[in-house]
Amino acid sequence: MTSTKTTAASVLALSLAGAAFTVSPLFADTPASPLFSAKTIQVHEVYAQVSGADATLTPVFTFDVKVVRPSKVKVLMTVNQDKTGKGKPNQYIDDGKVEREYNSNKNTFTIVDAKTAGDSHSQIRGMSMVDKYLTAKGQPEAGSTRTISTETVGGQAYTVVSDKQPPRQSGPNKFYVVTSQLWINKATRLPVKNSFMMETDGKIRETGRMTFSNWVLNKPIPATQVAWIPPVGATLGSEPKLLAAGAVAPDFTVLTSDGKTTHLSDFKGKVVVLDLWATWCGPCQASMPHLDSVYKATKDQNVQVLAVCVWDKKDAYEKWLTEKGTTFAFPTYFDSDSNDKSFAATKYGVTGIPTQYVIDKDGTIAASNVGYGDGDHRLEDELTKLGITLPKTTASADAK
């Protein structure tokens, strides 16, 4: 999860590999939606994180989407964490030939890699769910179970499409299950919200929610509103690259959970798992039970976990500590440098989270991993290569 050339970086990725931001295909097995025949589509979307016992909704991203069939798409993406009101939207533009993303924080734009089998590599496009509007077909992910029900709230009937993913292991004999629930207004046949639910220890809670409003269909959209018009002074940028295996891991400074200063160099002689996350990032949160299980299995083998909260607000991190800090055994840290000044971007080439680096005892990069998905054992595989012993059930056959 969960951003892409955005303020809180190119990163503010809800990296789509993450379970908490995996979205069910829209409208499969439901009555035909007017979206499938609309020549133009406009919609306002808000993704909010759900936290606390009172299920507080905290808006994280806002998307304003325009689609002109057959192939023109424009998405304005605002990072809601910008409290100054000065932040300009980031942009994704597909003019039918070239896809571009614009980073308002840097006033630069990049050309998105060419589509593979029709799938865009743009994270902004993926997070906005725009491709779900453009296809009438869709099946649940492999291994997922789909149920369709009817719910009535406030006198309004909704079709609820629930895709329940297979259980994921979070530790010895511990599992969690992620379910995506798409609510469709039966009268309009348009989506109202997409809720992301997590079940652990028999308890189900909502972790995130995308809401849809202000649908406008078949209203002519001027060509200039979906064209690529470079903002004043914008220059062509390039995406930073992750550090390669064998490179020296740059030193950095972060704060411990109790406000003290620590450095990467303080842990030389240990294998370090550098885990970069944020409170607003759904995939980051989904990956934490897995990281916790690896931490417990390796903490007595001279392995140090540095789980650093990046691209985030200090009060959000402190709130997370209060609500979830005792849930996991691994230590967490906070990067007080803001956004593009963060060591994650400036020294480690990170553009999306969660991202993990494995650093060997000599302080050199052993491996890097981006995103998190079901059955993901890349971290265990890399640690095994460095001589760390892990339970047989946690490492894949590739490392054996």
Domains and CATH numbers, the chain: 19-236 (2.50.20.10), 253-399 (3.40.30.10)
74-83, 137-146, 255-264, 386-395: which is most confident: 255-264
Calculate the average pLDDT of the chain. 83
Model confidence at 282: pLDDT above 80: no
Q: Can you say whether residue 202 is alpha, beta or left, with left for phi > 0 and alpha for psi between -120 and 50 degrees?
A: left
Residue closest to 310 by CA, chosen among 280, 334, 281: 334
Alpha helices in 236-377 (DSSP H): 282-298, 314-324, 343-346
What is the pLDDT at residue 8? 33
| More confidently predicted of 143 and 183 | 183
Stretch 22-26: mean pLDDT: 40
Q: What is the pLDDT of residues 131-178, one digit of tens each?
A: 876 765 456 767 789 899 999 999 999 999 898 988 876 656 667 788
**Does the pTM exceed 0.85?**
no
Buried b (16+ CB within 10 A) or exposed e, 97-132: eebbbbbbbbebbbebeeeeeeebebbbbbbbbbbb
Of 145 and 105, more confident: 145
User: Per-residue pLDDT for 364 more than 90?
Assistant: yes
pLDDT of res. 399: 39
Of the listed ranges 151-155, 178-182, 268-272, 365-369, the one predicted with least confidence: 178-182
3-class SS of residue 155: coil
Arithmetic mean of pLDDT, 220-236: 93
Per-residue model confidence (pLDDT) at position 14: 36
Taking 60 as the threshold, does the pLDDT of residue 319 lie above it? yes
More confident residue, 27 or 160: 160
Question: What pLDDT score does 127 carry?
Answer: 86
**Number of C-beta neighbours around residue 215 at 10 A:** 18
What's the pLDDT band for 130 if we cut at 50, 70, 90?
confident
> What pLDDT does 138 receive?
58
Q: What is the pLDDT, as a whole number, of residue 149?
A: 94
Does 281 or 111 have the greater pLDDT score? Answer: 111
Amino acid at 280: W
| Token code pair at residue 337 | 């440098």
Q: Verify cis geometry, omega within 30 degrees of 0, for the bond prior to 354.
A: yes
Residue type at 43?
V
Q: For residues 329-347, give the mean pLDDT.
A: 87
CA 390 to each of CA 189, 248, 255, 290: distance values in angstroms, whole numbers, following the listed order: 49, 26, 29, 13
Q: How far apart (Å, rounded) are the C-alpha atoms in residues 134 and 26?
A: 10
Q: Is the pLDDT of residue 338 over 90?
A: no
> What is the 3-state composition of the chain as percent helix, strand, coil, each rounded to the nearest 5?
15, 35, 45
242 SS3 class: coil
86 Cα distance to chain centroid: 24
Residue pair 396/274 in contact (Cβ under 8 Å)? The answer is no
Taking a C-beta distance cutoff of 8 angstroms, is the pair 17, 285 a contact?
no
Confidence of residue 235 (pLDDT cuts 50, 70, 90): very high
Q: Angle 386-387-391 (CA atoms, 0-180°, nearest 5)?
A: 115
Neighbours of 299 (CB within 10 A): 14
Percent of the chain with pLDDT over 90: 46
Q: Give the pLDDT band (50/70/90) at residue 54.
A: confident
Instruction: Pick 262 or 201 by higher pLDDT.
Output: 262
Q: Which helix (H) or strand (E) holds 113?
A: none
pLDDT, position 131: 82
What value does the mean pLDDT take over residues 39-56?
A: 88
